Amino acid sequence: MVSDTISRRVPWVALALSLLSAGVGHLYCGRIAKGLPLYFAWLLVPICITIAAMLPPSPALFMLLVLLPIAIVFFVYLYAAIDAWRLASRIGPDHSLRDYNRAAIYTLLIVVQMIYAFGLIAGVRAWVYEAFRIPSSSMSPTFLPGDRILARKLMPHDHIPKRGDLIVYNNPSPNGATKFVGRVVAIAGDHLEIHGERVLINGKELERDPVPDEALTFLGDKTQGRVAMEVNSGRRYLVAYGDTSDGARSLGDFDATIPSHQVFILGDNRERAKDSRHFGTIQLADIVGDVEYLYWPSHTWSRFGVANDQLP
């Protein structure tokens, strides 16, 4: 409702309100029909990210439902701030106050949006996607130090990872990082044998083909040792052997049947990884999520995309 009271609209106030919460600057200028869509635009990000987590991963899906909504919301905030400034400059002292032109309403809208925004961000991180930074070379050549990945947490209650899957899991040992990244090599019921560089599952040795150096240019000089393509239950991925640049060696032979509700994890850099050879199998309950995307490569953007697609 429009009152008879006239009040000047101050451009810097409109700008500040919009920067605190997109759309509030437009309400300050009496443009509620334009302000409310801008105010709720931020909801696009958590909604689209949740939809992305429910679909099979792909680079196109990641661009469309994760990166694009973030970019759209960023430009919405930028546009809202600039447009609110211009509106206030044009209106000047001739604005007829509306019922909603009150400091208490502006404050309430800003506080509500901040609470819901931080709550939804925390909810997405806790139950949908969580970002991690790779600190070491234990997963080289799949992940290099400094890579940033997204792990999907939105999984069925009875989800069981498959051989070859990349997962984030809680560190079962009291030392080191709280969460590790590794590859599922064997699942419950499998008889696993490791003899030096040889890995056998249910008596069958995993196929492994050497990869020539010229096919690894996308890794630059960020990996050491010999690189091979390993095949496990139809999943193909790169592994590294002989990386003893720091003098460390992994544990030796292993022979056991994987217990129920547990999986056996290996790092892709077999001589450098701390994995199930050191602290045993991992309970399914300790799996944090499936690694789906490498969203910020540390070396070259040619590695950007679905985590298991980084193949020569």
Reported as a single tens digit per residue, the pLDDT across 34-77 is 999 999 999 999 999 999 999 999 989 999 999 999 999 999 99
| Residue 212 CB neighbours (<10 A) | 8
The pLDDT of residue 306 is: 87
Instruction: Summarize the confidence of residues 92-119 as an average pLDDT.
Output: 91
Q: Which domains does the chain have, with CATH numbers?
A: 2-127 (no CATH), 130-309 (2.10.109.10)
Looking at per-residue pLDDT, the higher value among 303 and 239 belongs to: 239
The answer to whether residue 4 scores a pLDDT higher than 60 is no
Listed residue (34, 29, 37, 39) closest to 98, CA to CA = 29
Distance CA 39, CA 191 (A): 56
Task: State the pLDDT confidence band at 312, using cuts at 50, 70 and 90.
Answer: very low
Distance CA 195, CA 206 (A): 12
The answer to whether residue 172 scores a pLDDT higher than 80 is yes
106-130 per-residue burial string, b: 16 or more CB within 10 A, e: under 16: beebeeebeeeeeebeeebeeebbb
The answer to whether residue 248 scores a pLDDT higher than 60 is no
The answer to whether residue 178 scores a pLDDT higher than 60 is yes
> H or E stretch including 180?
strand 179-187
Residue-wise pLDDT tens digits, 209-220: 988 877 777 776
Instruction: Summarize the confidence of residues 266-290 as an average pLDDT.
Output: 92
Asked if 241 contacts 197 with a C-beta cutoff of 8 angstroms, the reply is: yes
266-297 per-residue burial string, b: 16 or more CB within 10 A, e: under 16: bbbbbbbbbbbbeeebbebebbbbbbbbbbeb
The answer to whether residue 78 scores a pLDDT higher than 90 is yes
Distance CA 138, CA 134 (A): 9
The answer to whether residue 109 scores a pLDDT higher than 50 is yes
Residue 195 is given by DSSP the state E
* Whole-structure pTM value: 0.86
